[in-house]
Amino acid sequence: MTASEPLLDRHFLERLERLTIHWQRSFSGLVGGHNASRFSGGGQEFLDHRNFHHGDDLRAVNWRAYLRLDKLFLKMFQIEPRVPVHLLLDTSASMTAGTGSKFEMARKVAASLCYVGLVRLDTIAVQPFSSTLGEGKVAGGGRHRFQPVMEYLQKIEANGASNFDLVVREFIHSTPQRGLVIILSDFMDDRDCLRPLQYLSDYGHELLLMQIYAEEDRTPPWNGELELVDAETHAEVRLQFDDQAREQYTKAFDEYSAALQQLAVRNGGRFACVSTATSLEDVIFDSLVRTRGIA
């Protein structure tokens, strides 16, 4: 993909407008549970206008506009200045290793989720991470704020080694407000990343883990003598690889994915494991919808 090419096309964005990001917990200080009551009606910060429909609160009607245009417009107000949705995007070198475009898929999924949130007037904070938590970008205020988010995502580059322990620690310190944490990563950390994730959940965040993997990450296609280089640590291993070894490798990978899923589900979160061979449409409208991450 070239730098000028957008991550998502217009047609796909139109399809995303029907979706909503779901979370299950009630976070203290926020309207909880679901997204149905985002508008307090009383209003604190003006957000936008929309056409008046029967049943709307007459107090929110812009009467000045009515007098001028002879048409009823409803003023909308944003009542959630705090951040309920955090999107952590893995930018470690492992995301670009091999032939699979995991990082590309992660950026597209992140852009899609941002757009879904913006359409529903959610506020989403996108934060890249590898060994440390990077400087993020807060997106909110409607779909017309999507362009800066997409430009931001396009500029992000993947490098460095992932360190979930450090990243979670930094995140908890910088974000006292609990909310929905969506992590887009391959979770290929040589260290144990289950413990930091458990810690994150214990702190009060609701987890939506999305494991993105390339097919060769799960089923290496090579045979014979291999010289393996870790993309993040550059450590090397030489071994003989055959069909039997391949089965063992795949089994270990699946067990790791199952452990991630178990962690998420056990803590009231959700887990999705998607391959880069899957199309973005299937990821959003199939995998994420089935896990009830969005609806």
Partner 1 sequence: MSFLNLTLGQFLTLFVAAGGVAFVLYLLDRSRRKVVVPTLRFWTAAEQPTAVVRRKTVSQPWSLLLQLLGIFFLLLAIAQLRWGAFAGKPRDHILLLDTSAWMNARAPNATAPKLSNQPRRSLMDLARRQAALYLRELPGSDRVMLVRVDALATPATPFLSDKIALLQAITDSKPGSTALDLGQALAFAKRTQQLSPNRAGDIVYAGPGRIIQTDEAVPTVRNLRVLPVPDAIANCGIRHVGLRRSRDDSTVWEVYASVRNYGTQPKIETIAIGFGGAPAGAQQLTLPPNADREATFTLRTHAAGLLDVRLSPTDDFPDDNRATLEIPAVNGLTVTVYSDAPDALRPFFGANSRVSAIFKPTAAFNPETTGLVILDHFRPATMPKIDSVWIDPPTIGSPVPIRTHVDKPEALRWSSDQPIAAGLRTKDARPDSATVFEAAPSDLKIAEIGQGPVLVARRTDDGHRLVVLGFHPASAGMRYQLATPLLIGNILRWLAPDAFRSLDLSASSAGTVNAELDAAPQPDSIHVIRADGQQLPFTLNGRSLHFFSGTPGIVRVIAGSHESVYSLSLPGMWTTRWTIPANARRGPPALREKLDNPRDLWQFLALLGAACFLAEWMIFGRMNRLLRRPIAAVSGRLKKAS
Q: Which residues bind partner 1 (CB under 8 A)?
A: 94-95, 97-98, 186, 188-190, 215-222, 224-233, 235, 237-242, 245-246, 248-254, 256-258, 261, 273, 275, 277
- In the complex with partner 1, the residue whose CB is nearer, 241 or 285, is 241
- In the complex with partner 1, the residue whose CB is nearer, 5 or 225, is 225
DSSP state at residue 127:
E
SS3 state of residue 87? strand
- In the complex with partner 1, the residue whose CB is nearer, 45 or 190, is 190
State the nearest-atom distance from the C-beta of 272 to partner 1, in Å.
9
- In the complex with partner 1, the residue whose CB is nearer, 30 or 226, is 226
Nearest to 197 by CA among 181, 212, 214, 215: 181
* CA distances in angstroms from 43 to 56, 124, 245, 276, listed in the order given: 14, 20, 62, 43
- In the complex with partner 1, the residue whose CB is nearer, 169 or 218, is 218
State the nearest-atom distance from the C-beta of 75 to partner 1, in Å.
46
- In the complex with partner 1, the residue whose CB is nearer, 69 or 252, is 252
State the nearest-atom distance from the C-beta of 103 to partner 1, in Å.
11
As a three-state string, the secondary structure of 144-194 is HHHHHHHHHHHHCCCCCCCCHHHHHHHHHHHCCCCCEEEEEECCCCCCCCH
- In the complex with partner 1, the residue whose CB is nearer, 141 or 220, is 220
- In the complex with partner 1, the residue whose CB is nearer, 203 or 256, is 256
277, burial (CB in 10 Å: exposed 0-12, middle 13-18, buried 19+) = exposed
State the nearest-atom distance from the C-beta of 166 to partner 1, in Å.
17
> CA-to-CA distance for 255 and 194, rounded, in angstroms?
13
Identify the residue whose tokens are 């979930």.
Answer: 164
Contact 276, 215 (CB under 8 A): yes
State the nearest-atom distance from the C-beta of 171 to partner 1, in Å.
22
Q: What is the rounded radius of gyration, in angstroms, for the C-alpha atoms of the chain?
A: 21
Amino acid in position 50? R
State the nearest-atom distance from the C-beta of 207 to partner 1, in Å.
17
State the nearest-atom distance from the C-beta of 269 to partner 1, in Å.
16
State the nearest-atom distance from the C-beta of 4 to partner 1, in Å.
28
DSSP state at residue 26:
P
The C-alpha torsion from 228 through 230 and 231 to 232, rounded to 10°, is: -170
SS3 state of residue 198? helix
